[in-house]
Structures are given as structure tokens and as C-alpha cells.
């Protein structure tokens, strides 16, 4: 056997080739797939630190409404709920003005940016921001409510109002680095905390009579895609997942290109690759959305990851529920195939 010299530049690739991943997908039958998921999901929750968050207890949601506004074709409400003991986070709830019964719930976690949830409901701070939202199709929650769904657009931990005061005072985009380091001191991660918060949004959605809690979509771009992929893997109440500008391989994205510290999960590549994490969603519908020119999630690795993920769905017997949509541009949201896929999923694949 020839030993490849390991350097600071090829470190990740050498280890990625050498490591044995105990939770890599190897099943050949639906029964084997189910057994693999039963073993892997608790391990993933442990790596993310979700089990440590849960150990603090699940407090009362203590919902508090902060405001309500008639937006013409929908109502926009603003709320806070208690996610873990003593920690509250805000979100917008968008609901159609005309409803003929409970509607599916759409969770729309955002990515990096100081505006947080405001971007996803279409609130722009100036002309430049308005143009950015339009060009990048970033008003994801607004799109969802106009599809007739109930949309929840939260502030994600370490952004907007959930930054530390120190970062707010200097107008820094996020508190990701510091809060990730602090989380890891306690065996937690920012991804795990964000996944937990998505679960609490589902708990809240279940209290609203307008919501059909049997049908839950999660979709977001970039960092929102990260949360979407991991939350769907961890929480089986999420019935459709459509992460945008994230699905790739850890090796060729998070491990090869500079990313925010909030993307890192200690030990993840010693357990599985990103397509294995996504495989925990099967047989629930999964749409990966990617930009062919995305500089931080290289498209060849997206294709590699999708081929591996599609195999999981083939074993599950539902290959049609796993799709890749490719936009012609870079790192942004691409709505063109999201909503047709979601409509079909809710109509045909989600009971």
C-alpha cells in the first residue's frame, strides 16, 4: 500500500479517503435501510448535541404575540416562543387571508445576513436590499404563503436579534464563531441548537388550528439549507425537505472551502458523509436545490452526493421522491422547481 503524504493542504482529502465511516449507507433492502436509520439518527443527534439540549427539558412554549399586520393577500404576525428553558426566539407567521381548512406548514430558516427573518418575508431595508431579495428569490416565506401555506420565518440563532450584544453594537453580521465555540464547550453545536428550534416551531404549529401538522415542509437557502437538511434528518415530523445551496459533500465543501464556523459538527466525517445525513430523510420527499456556478458548494460534488443519496431512495422503493434541481447561477435560492415539487409531494406522497 502506498502512503500518501499528508500536508496542511490535502489533510481533509487524505483522511476522507482513509476513514471508515460506520454510518455510511450500505443497505440493500428497505428493512436494512430502516435499521440503518434507527442506528444512525440517535448518533447524529448526539454529534449535534441535540440530546444535551433535550436533557435540559422541554419547557412550555409560552407564545407571545408581538404584532399583526394585514399585507393585502395575507396576514403577517410576529411571535416569540420559548425554545429551551429561558431561551426565547422570534418568528413571523404568515397565513393566507382566505382559508377553507387547515393548510400545510412551511418552516423557512434563513442563512447568513443581519436582516434575518425580515428577508424571508420580503421586508427590505432600502433599494439595494430589495433588489437583492428579488434577484436571489430570497423571500421564501412570502413565496410559501402565496402558495397557500402557513409559513413560519424565524430568526436563526447567532443572527439578527439573536446575536450577542457585542456584535450588535459593531453591526457585525453574526455571532456564529463565538456562539459555536461556546456551544462546543457543552457538547452542543449551533446546527444542533437550530435544529432544536425548528422542532419547537413544529410544536407551536401543532397548536394553531390553521395548520395541517401532517404536512410540514422545511426549505431555506445557504445556512438555511444547512438547517433544512439536518432538521429533516433528525425530525421525522418534517415530511418534505428542500434545502437550497448547501447539499454537497462535506469533503469538497465544508472541508475544502472557507465557511463560517457554524457549519462544523465535530466528528461528523468520522461517522458519515452529507449524503448519508440526507438519507435519514428517506422515504420522505427530498429536493436538493443547487446553483451550477456556486463557488462554495462545487457542482461536481453536488452531483456525486446526489447520486449517492438517490441510491438510498432506490432502496426505499421511491426514487421519484428524490430530485436535484440545478439553477444556472451561483449561491442563491431557486424557486422554479421548489413549489411544483412541494405541491406534488403534498398531493401524492404525504398522507
CATH number at residue 161: 3.40.50.1820
Across the chain, what does the average pLDDT equal? 97
Average pLDDT over residues 45-67: 98
C-alpha span between 139 and 122 (Å, rounded): 5
The percentage of the chain sitting over the pLDDT mark of 90, rounded to a whole number, equals 96
Range of the domain at 94: 30-349
Any domain includes 237: yes
List the single range of 28-37, 121-130, 226-235 with lowest mean pLDDT.
121-130
332 alpha carbon, distance to own chain's centre: 14
The percentage of the chain sitting over the pLDDT mark of 70, rounded to a whole number, equals 99
User: ∠270-241-203 over CA atoms, to 5°?
Assistant: 95
Predicted pLDDT at 1: 46
Instruction: State yes or no: pLDDT of 100 exceeds 90.
Output: no
What are the b/e assignments for 155-167, b being 16+ CB within 10 Å?
bbbbbbebbeeeb
Q: For the whole model, what pTM was predicted?
A: 0.97
Any domain includes 90: yes
Any domain includes 169: yes
Predicted pLDDT at 3: 81
Any domain includes 217: yes
Any domain includes 3: no
Average pLDDT over residues 175-196: 98
C-alpha span between 158 and 87 (Å, rounded): 13
Do residues 163 and 175 touch, judged by C-beta distance below 8 A?
yes
Any domain includes 240: yes
Average pLDDT over residues 167-177: 96
Predicted pLDDT at 2: 56
Q: Which of 160, 195, 159 is nearest to 176 (CA)?
A: 159
3-state secondary structure 251-268: CCCCCCCCCCHHHCCCCH
What the block records as the C-alpha cell of 85 is 428553558
Predicted pLDDT at 71: 97
Average pLDDT over residues 138-149: 98
Listed in sequence order, the residues at least 6 apart from 42 whose beta carbon sits closer than 8 Å to its beta carbon are 51
Task: Quote the number of domains for the chain.
Answer: 1
Q: What tens digit of pLDDT does each residue of 301-349 get?
A: 999 999 999 999 999 999 999 999 999 999 999 999 999 999 999 999 9
Predicted pLDDT at 351: 77
Predicted pLDDT at 343: 97
Any domain includes 204: yes
Predicted pLDDT at 98: 85
Any domain includes 9: no
Q: What tens digit of pLDDT does each residue of 279-301 get?
A: 999 999 999 999 999 999 999 99
350 alpha carbon, distance to own chain's centre: 19
Predicted pLDDT at 4: 87
Amino acid at each position: 500500500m502506498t502512503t500518501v503524504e499528508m500536508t496542511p493542504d490535502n489533510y481533509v482529502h487524505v483522511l476522507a479517503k482513509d476513514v471508515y465511516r460506520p454510518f455510511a449507507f450500505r443497505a440493500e433492502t428497505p428493512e436494512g435501510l430502516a435499521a440503518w436509520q434507527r442506528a444512525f439518527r440517535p448518533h447524529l443527534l448526539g454529534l449535534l448535541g441535540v440530546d444535551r439540549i433535550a436533557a435540559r427539558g422541554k419547557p412550555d412554549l409560552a407564545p407571545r404575540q408581538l404584532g399583526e399586520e394585514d399585507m393585502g393577500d395575507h396576514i403577517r404576525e410576529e411571535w416569540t416562543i420559548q425554545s429551551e428553558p429561558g431561551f426565547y426566539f422570534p418568528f413571523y407567521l404568515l397565513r393566507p387571508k382566505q382559508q377553507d381548512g387547515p393548510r400545510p406548514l412551511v418552516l423557512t430558516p434563513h442563512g447568513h445576513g443581519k436582516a434575518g427573518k425580515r428577508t424571508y418575508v420580503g421586508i427590505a431595508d432600502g433599494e439595494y436590499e430589495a433588489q437583492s431579495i428579488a434577484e436571489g428569490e430570497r423571500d421564501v416565506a412570502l413565496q410559501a404563503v402565496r402558495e397557500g401555506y402557513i409559513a413560519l420565518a424565524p430568526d436563526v440563532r447567532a443572527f439578527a436579534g439573536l446575536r450577542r450584544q457585542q456584535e450588535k453594537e459593531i453591526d457585525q453580521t453574526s455571532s456564529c464563531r463565538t456562539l459555536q465555540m461556546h456551544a462546543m464547550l457543552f457538547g452542543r453545536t449551533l446546527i444542533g441548537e437550530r435544529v432544536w428550534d425548528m422542532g419547537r416551531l413544529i410544536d407551536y404549529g401543532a397548536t394553531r388550528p390553521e395548520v395541517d401538522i401532517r404536512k410540514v415542509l422545511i426549505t431555506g437557502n445557504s445556512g438555511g439549507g444547512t438547517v433544512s437538511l439536518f432538521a429533516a434528518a433528525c425530525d421525522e415530523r418534517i415530511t418534505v425537505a428542500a434545502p437550497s445551496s448547501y447539499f454537497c459533500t462535506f469533503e469538497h465543501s465544508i472541508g475544502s472551502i472557507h465557511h463560517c464556523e457554524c457549519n462544523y459538527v465535530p466528528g461528523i466525517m468520522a461517522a458519515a458523509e452529507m449524503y448519508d445525513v440526507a438519507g435519514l430523510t428517506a422515504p420522505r420527499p427530498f429536493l436538493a436545490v443547487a446553483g451550477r456556478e456556486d463557488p462554495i458548494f462545487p457542482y461536481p460534488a453536488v452531483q456525486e452526493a446526489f447520486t449517492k443519496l438517490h441510491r438510498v431512495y432506490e432502496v426505499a422503493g421511491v426514487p421519484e421522491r428524490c430530485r436535484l434541481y440545478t439553477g444556472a447561477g451561483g449561491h442563491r435560492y431557486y424557486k422554479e422547481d421548489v413549489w411544483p415539487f412541494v405541491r406534488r409531494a403534498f398531493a401524492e406522497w404525504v398522507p
